[in-house]
Amino acid sequence: MSPIEINKDDFIEIGYRLIDIISDFYDTINESPVTTGETPEQIQAVLGNASLPENGTSVSELFTKTSDLLLNHSLLNGHPKFFGYITSSPTQIGALADLLASAVNPNVGANILSPMATAIEKQTLKWLAEFIGVSPTYGGILVSGGNMANLTGFLAARTAKAPKSMKEDGLVATSGKMVFYCSKATHTWIEKAAVLFGHGSKAIRWIPTCADNKMDTVILLQTIDSDLKNGKKPFLVIGNAGDVSTGVVDNLSEIAAICKAHDLWFHIDGAYGIPAAVIPQYKNLFDGIQEADSIALDPHKWLYAPLEAGCTLVKNPQHLIDTYSAHPVYYNFDNSADEPTLNYYEYGFQNSRGFRALKVWMALQQVGKNGYIKMINEDIELSKLLFEEAQKHEELEAVTQNLSIATLRYVPLNYAQDERMNETYLNTLNEKLLNELQQGGEVFLSNAVITDKYCLRACIVNFRTSKKDIQEIIEIIVREGRKVYEKLQIK
Ligand SMILES: Cc1ncc(COP(=O)(O)O)c(C=O)c1O
């Protein structure tokens, strides 16, 4: 037997034990701290500094040790009081699906290498299109996350709109004239795209937002006109369907109309927010998504898939093939009865690809569309509750609430009387407070800077959170806020 093979009895024994450990972990997750707050040095000390093992170790011991490392020294994003950034509580079915996917290990780069997995990915994409309410004829690909989903769409846009000679001549063919538009609230992936794909950061036209934090479409139009007059080649506008800081959805139908009038590619970054389009009462907020040429959405955010699962949907998937396909002589992938063969390596960056569709596909069936409507709606309601509780509290200022993101800040009671207090002081106070909360292990929040106010930000993409958690979080923030304020006073 090869040294890496595990015999059947051991596999069963270790596998069952691991499942026992993981079910206990889920069962008691609300009693654990969200984080132990250990420093990198402390983590390093727990891990030890051993050099590369010369010889093997018992698998059973390895699992005992490794589950202790991970379960007792991680930030638990499955905890009911975890609201940091946009990372969801992971579905249990997703964890099991990942095990099954790894066991079979289909390479979903080519149909011949993954016949069933390719068919399941295709169905998952169709379901995701139906879920958000665009035509199921949109096609696409699952990718690692939001950044990759947006970058994948960005290059499809460029191929569609750049001169055909760009494939041979590179960006020289466009003489550096290609420019693109997004609101200033757009996630940082756009800067990566500009720099890494050779356009340079000056090619980004950052469009200001209105008071409601939506892209100002009047300025968008003016900027496009002025670029055209100056000989630039506008090719793409990005609309946000849930911006990363505050969850605002741009006026997508207005942006769609502008794109249509100017023959521009319309891409929507819906990595976080677009699943909310499944809820009948929020559907209108997303009017215009049916016009998008490409859409990024992230099952590992609001569909609660374990990392990693992002998705790019494209109205005409041929644009992905035009962008990513290649036919080297050493591939014999086009011989299936279906014409043309669906080979996912032709739809994106990756060649060999894992089976990330399975965890999404299984969760969609476990709870159905209605299960998701319930969970997503509850997240929104909990976020509203947090905002309202902050509004009621005399030491809190509720700042924004959109979709399932609420922002707020701690404001000491005697704010008005204390002449040392100004916006800079409040920003320092809230930044320190956030650091204390993140280390403290009772709740995990992140931050947003809104019109120069440093805010605490809770993004609820968490099916474990309850109303009681929200009430407790208010108390925790106020209690810790007072402590930080006192500390600052003493200094
Ligand atoms: C709107 C938006 N776009 C893109 C991303 C990037 O997603 P990922 O971290 O999965 O790459 C995020 C992440 O929070 C986001 O909120």
What would the DSSP string read from start to end of 433-468? HHHHHHHHSS-B-EEEEETTEEEEEEE---TT--HH
Q: Please give the distance, rounded to the nearest whole angstrom, from the Cα atom of residue 144 to the centre of ligand 1.
A: 11
Contacts of 491 (CB under 8 A, 6+ apart): none
- Kindly report, residue by residue over 340-358, the tens digit of the pLDDT: 899 999 999 999 999 999 9
Radius of gyration over alpha carbons of the chain, in Å? 25
User: Looking at ligand 1, which residue's alpha carbon is closest to its atom 5?
Assistant: 146
As a whole number of angstroms, the longest Cα–Cα distance in the chain is 78
What is the atom index within ligand 1 of the atom nearest the CA of 149? 11
What's the average model confidence in pLDDT over 240-246?
97
Residue 295 pLDDT more than 70?
A: yes
Q: Which two tokens mark 273?
A: 């927010």
Q: Please give the distance, rounded to the nearest whole angstrom, from the Cα atom of residue 186 to the centre of ligand 1.
A: 10
What is the atom index within ligand 1 of the atom nearest the CA of 240? 1
Whether residue 236 contacts residue 154, with contact meaning beta carbons closer than 8 Å, is answered with yes
Q: Please give the distance, rounded to the nearest whole angstrom, from the Cα atom of residue 81 to the centre of ligand 1.
A: 21
Residue 36 pLDDT more than 90?
A: yes
What's the average model confidence in pLDDT over 212-220?
97
- Kindly report, residue by residue over 199-213, the tens digit of the pLDDT: 999 999 999 999 999
- When pLDDT is cut at 50, 70 and 90, the band that residue 42 belongs to is very high
Residue 172 pLDDT more than 90?
A: no
What's the average model confidence in pLDDT over 102-106?
98
Q: Chain centroid to CA 212: how far?
A: 23
Question: Among 189, 243, 307, which is best to mutate for testing ligand 1, by the most ligand atoms less than 8 A from CB?
Answer: 189
Q: Please give the distance, rounded to the nearest whole angstrom, from the Cα atom of residue 102 to the centre of ligand 1.
A: 25
Residue 335 pLDDT more than 80?
A: no
Residues lining ligand 1, Cβ inside 6 A: 85-86, 145-147, 150, 187, 189, 244, 269, 271-272, 298, 310
User: Looking at ligand 1, which residue's alpha carbon is closest to its atom 4?
Assistant: 146
Residue 415 pLDDT more than 90?
A: no
- Kindly report, residue by residue over 148-167, the tens digit of the pLDDT: 999 999 999 999 999 999 99
Residue 490 pLDDT more than 80?
A: no
Cis peptide before 40 (omega within 30 of 0): no
Q: What is the mean pLDDT of the chain?
A: 96
Q: Which two tokens mark 388?
A: 């309202």
Question: Among 88, 147, 356, which is best to mutate for testing ligand 1, by the most ligand atoms less than 8 A from CB?
Answer: 147
Q: Please give the distance, rounded to the nearest whole angstrom, from the Cα atom of residue 337 to the centre of ligand 1.
A: 38
Q: Please give the distance, rounded to the nearest whole angstrom, from the Cα atom of residue 193 to the centre of ligand 1.
A: 14
Q: Please give the distance, rounded to the nearest whole angstrom, from the Cα atom of residue 187 to the centre of ligand 1.
A: 7
What are 453's strand-pairing partners? Answer: 450
Q: Which of 137-141, 335-339, 364-368, 484-488 has the lowest mean pLDDT?
A: 335-339
What is the atom index within ligand 1 of the atom nearest the CA of 146? 7
Instruction: From 218, 144, 145, 152, select the one nearest 181 (Cα to Cα).
Output: 218
What is the atom index within ligand 1 of the atom nearest the CA of 307? 10
